[in-house]
Structure 1
Amino acid sequence: MSNNQSLLARRKAAVPAGAASAYTIFAARAEGSQVWDADGKQYIDFAAGIAVMNVGHHHPKVTAAVTQQLGHYAHVAYPVQAYEPYIAVCERLNEAAPIADATSVLFTTGAEATENAVKIARIATGRPGIIAFTGSFHGRTNLALSLTGKVAPLRANYPHFQPGVFHVPFPVPAHGMSEEDSLKALDYLFKSSISPEQVAGIIIEPVQGEGGYYQAPVAFVRRLREICDQHGILLIADEIQSGFARTGRFFAIEHAEVEPDLIAVGKAIGGGLPLAGLIGKRSIMDTTQPGSLGGTYAGNPLSCAAALAVFDLIEEENLLQRSVSVGDKLKIELEKFAARNDVVPVGAIRGVGSMVAFEIFKDDGETPDPDATKALANRAVAEGLLVLPCGFWGNTIRIAPALTITDEDLEEGVARLARALLSDSVSK
């Protein structure tokens, strides 16, 4: 029995089925954009821990920062006594965010960030309603799951959702939903289910993550800002997957040149350590009472030290520009695949910075093929490449490599993807 097989047997015995992993391999080591499993096989990582490892695995500057902090203290609990790394991270977030007079608070997970965004929006406005979008993903805890706009597998068989949450179709013309259609649905919601004066906030991913890496159209985001201003509604940007240089801007909403009221952050901020946060206008954030925000591990000192290194690396290694160049390279290669007749039908190629996706279709080139997509992902693993399926119909492959990926690893990853895409390979 291999090490991977042994660990799989142990996992099945010790861990519930709900805590699933995409693949039956187990990580043993990771460096940069390469991962080695428990049997010593090497993979090019085009998933980056679900867009977490934007500065790559085990970056020496992140490791050094965490090691140095560990030499001082690992935990004292911010609710008991504050510490400089927490303050420094908030200062950097406030500086980076496209929000005037911003303040920030730290959490541990992205779900905490989105739930606290809703809590603050409700406190600040005194209103109960929250509007989210179909295809969205905002977390797995109760309220975050209620916000999430995709049923399988997250919301399936769940008996109760939080009240006061409404969903509007996210504009994806390829799905038959234009910007105009989405705005009409929002207006219909205001007339049929909840008045705008009862809505505390509208939460949107500027680029949907689990929904398929669809970018919210610029004009649509700007129109949402106008609607929010008109009715006193707060605009909440969920940047947990799209932030920290992933799209070629520090935050994806910057592409629309819109100032949100609140920004939820997470994933890449901690360089692989658990950290999340919420940035917002001071006048909104200060409506909360002392002690009402945070948690025992929120803003852990080790995670804060890692985050400060991440901020520095984004600047020092020009990762905004690198994100664009990596994404452009990927899209060019994907267009080449789409033009070939010896690979599975590839289309709907899209991407903002290094948040790139494509879809797999049946032979008619139009019908989504989730089975072939899953087979492709498994074949990619066999070839030594990590990618992740996602999307409304489960037929999207998202590619989110580290922004520090070398040209050599990028080329090798594309070559492995090419082999996985071969029609006869996927069908096996």
Structure 2
Amino acid sequence: MKKNNIIRTIKRFEARSMHGQLPVIWKTANMDIVTDINNKKYIDFTSGICVTNAGHSNPEICRALFEEVTGGLMHSYTFYNKPRADFLEHLIKNTPDFIEKAFLVSSGTEATECALKLMKLYGRETRKDIIMSFNGAMHGRTLGSEFLKGKERWIGTWFPEIIHLPFPDSKDKFYPDVEWWLVSNIPYRKICGIMIETYQGWSARFYPKKYIQDLVMWCRKHKILVCFDEIQGGMGRTGKLFNYMHYDVEPDLICVGKGFSSSLPLAGVLGKKWILDGPETGSMSSTHSANPLCCAVGLANFKEIQRILPSVSAKGKLLHKELKKIFPNFEINGKGLLAGIITPTEEYATKVCYKAMKKGLLLIKTGLNSIKIAPPLCITKENLLKGLNILKESK
């Protein structure tokens, strides 16, 4: 089937909300290179939108998947299986000490919903019912996740138990004092938890470090649970295993997804035992949660991220150094192998993405006045520089 026929077929039979990315029909992908159905190769600066952190078709992940697929077990619901035990043990033993247990699910937005439920259960016990989040955040596409955004007009009836804070841009030196603003503007004695995206998804803007530190300290003072959304920023993307580490704070919970497997649908909520064990036995589960295929892949991926992670900071410094040369008058955000280029208009950003695509580079088209860059963490220095040269030619 030819390219135009494939696109036409998908648009005919699939909901249009799924569409909008660059018109490249992927055939194969290997580490940092994507090949389309016409065998044209592209340097990938997307990681499938921050998913394939360990690289497309990473050999170790493929080996683990093949062994599990051919081993005779592909699904077990919540019945026990060995890959689940192996993955959970390695995960908990190789993450920060506050992570004592995990709840595994299939997608980032499902992890968000589970974190909301855990915070609300805590709130029920403490007679608190409000959750805070930030305007403009991206936590997923299910209804609870959409409520956290604070900007969707289509929702209609608003959810009164979610309060949205203004995003304090790290480049703004005059953001309000955290405690003063919170005490002055919200019923803080009724807050049970806060969900914090570790950077603003569309722009890669970080919070001011002191702001987050003051906010977490204030939450501790008022016994408010702190959950960081690491779905995009985690698993080595910004040069640390989890992005919250850049703020030198410790949360109660984190949500993970995307790069948590670098391939199959796998996500989760990680955190303190007393919170994760809050729901009664059998009251919080998921049909495909912790299935053996995803757990085998999750373990292989985690080990690969551990191996690759030491090289991310150096490549990230090179990426940001070159971007500042290419776009000297644009705002460049991000850390490690994550960058957000703020452009004058959405049209300009889209134009650059299409030009780069034609020259053999895939960028993340956000649909806003920004271009995001998030290559696989295993990208070679040669391909990183080649991709940046294409970007320079496409601006």
Smaller-chain TM-score bracket: over 0.9
Question: Within 1, Cα distance between the matches of 2:72 and 2:175?
Answer: 50
Corresponding residue for 2:162? 165
Task: Normalising by structure 2, report the TM-score.
Answer: 0.94
- Tell me, yes or no, if structure 1 residue 222 matches structure 2 residue 213: yes
Q: Residue 122 of structure 1 aligns to a residue in which SS?
A: helix
Counterpart-to-counterpart distance in 1, 2:300 and 2:320:
29
Structure 1 residue runs of 5 or longer lacking an equivalent are 340-345, 362-368, 422-428
User: Is the 2:68–2:74 Cα contact (8 Å) retained in structure 1?
Assistant: no
Q: In 2, are the aligned partners of 1:99 and 1:280 still within 8 Å (CA)?
A: no
Which residue matches 1:33? 32
Q: Which has the higher contact order (CA 8 A, sep 6+)?
A: 2
Give the deviation of 1:413 after TM superposition.
0.7
- Tell me the equivalent position of 1:63: 62
Describe the SS at the equivalent of 2:102.
strand
2:102 maps to: 104
Aligned residue for 1:424?
A: none
Which residue identity is paired with 1:207?
A: Y
Q: Deviations over 1:108-145 (max 9, x none)?
A: 00001011001001112313211000121000001011
- The 3 A distance-change label for structure 1 pair 412 and 74 is farther
Q: Which amino acid aligns with 1:411?
A: L
Distance in structure 2 (CA, Å) of the matches to 1:170 and 1:183: 15
Deviations 1:68-88 (A, max 9, x none): 011224433342x11122223
Q: Which amino acid aligns with 1:335?
A: K
Aligned partners of 1:379, 1:214: CA distance in 2, in Å? 25
Structure 1 distance, partners of 2:26, 2:207, is: 34
Further displaced range: 230-239 or 122-131: 122-131
Give yes or no for the alignment of 1:334 onto 2:323.
yes
Name the CA distance, whole Å, in 2 between partners of 1:372 and 1:98: 42
Give the counterpart letter for 1:276 in structure 2: A
1:415 aligned onto 2:393: no
Name the counterpart of 1:139: 140
1:333 deviates by 0.9
- From 182, 194, 205, the equivalent of 1:202 is 194
Query: How many residues in Structure 1 have an aligned counterpart in Structure 2?
Result: 392
Amino acid of the structure 2 residue aligned with 1:312: K
1:260 aligns with 2:260: no
Distance of aligned partners of 1:97 and 1:125 in 2 relative to their CA distance in 1, 3 Å threshold: farther
Shift of residue 23, structure 1, vs aligned partner? 1.4
TM-score (normalizing by structure 1): 0.87
* Structure 1 counterpart of 2:277: 286
Q: Report the CA distance between 1:15 and its aligned residue.
A: 0.8
Cα 1:197/1:413, change in 2 over 3 Å: same
Amino acid at match of 1:250: L
Letter in 2 for 1:119: K
CA contact (8 A) 1:143 1:161 kept: no
Q: Which residue of 1 aligns with 2:305?
A: 314
Cα deviation for residue 62 of structure 1 reads 0.4
Q: CA contact under 8 A between 1:107 and 1:295: conserved in structure 2?
A: yes
Instruction: Say if 2:357 is the partner of 1:381.
Output: yes
Displacement of 1:258 in angstroms is 1.1
Percent sequence identity over aligned pairs? 32
Q: Residue 53 of structure 1 aligns with which residue?
A: 52
Matched residue of 1:157: which SS? helix
8 Å CA contact retained: 1:359, 1:395? yes
User: Which residue of 1 is the match for residue 42 of structure 2?
Assistant: 43
Query: What CA distance in whole angstroms lies between the structure 2 residues aligned with 1:217 and 1:173?
Result: 4
The one of 173, 181, 186 aligned to 2:182: 186
Contact 2:261 2:294 in 1 (8 A): yes
Point out the more displaced range, 43-52 or 287-296: 287-296
Partners of 1:333 and 1:84 in 2: CA distance? 46
| Aligned equivalents of 1:376, 1:59: Cα separation in 2 | 29
Once the 2 structures are TM-superposed, how far is the Cα of residue 33 of structure 1 from its aligned partner?
Answer: 0.8
Give the match for residue 83 of structure 2.
85
Instruction: Tell me which amino acid in the other structure corresponds to 2:3.
Output: N
Counterpart position of 1:128: 129
Instruction: Return 103-112 or 64-73, whichever deviates more.
Output: 64-73
Cα deviation digits, residues 143-189 of structure 1 (max 9, x gap): 0111124x4xxx34333444411110111155x68442666543333
**How large is the RMSD of aligned CA atoms in angstroms?**
1.9
Q: Verify the 8 A CA contact 1:98 1:260 in the aligned structure 2.
A: no
Please report how far the alpha carbon of residue 396 of structure 1 lies from its aligned counterpart in structure 2 after TM superposition. Answer: 1.5
Deviation track 1:330-367 (CA, whole Å, cap 9, x = no partner) reads 1111111134xxxxxx4111221111122212xxxxxx
Alignment deviations for residues 304-332 of structure 1 (CA, whole Å, 9 cap, x no partner): 1111111111223xx22222112111111
CA contact (8 A) 2:170 2:207 kept: no
Helix, strand or coil at the partner of 2:49: helix
CA distance in 2, matches of 1:55, 1:413: 18
What CA distance in whole angstroms lies between the structure 2 residues aligned with 1:399 and 1:101?
29
Say which is worse superposed, 197-206 or 346-355, in terms of deviation.
346-355
Shift in Å, 1:7: 0.8
Alignment partners' CA distance in 2, 1:223 and 1:351: 21
Q: Moved runs in structure 1, 4+ residues, more than 6 A?
A: none
- Partner residue of 2:346 out of 370, 395, 398: 370
- CA shift in 2, pair 1:101/1:53, >3 Å: closer
Contact map agreement 1:265 1:276 (CA 8 A) in 2? yes
Aligned equivalents of 1:417, 1:385: Cα separation in 2: 8
Distance 1:180 1:96 in 2: 37
**Structure 2 residue identity aligned to 1:357:** G
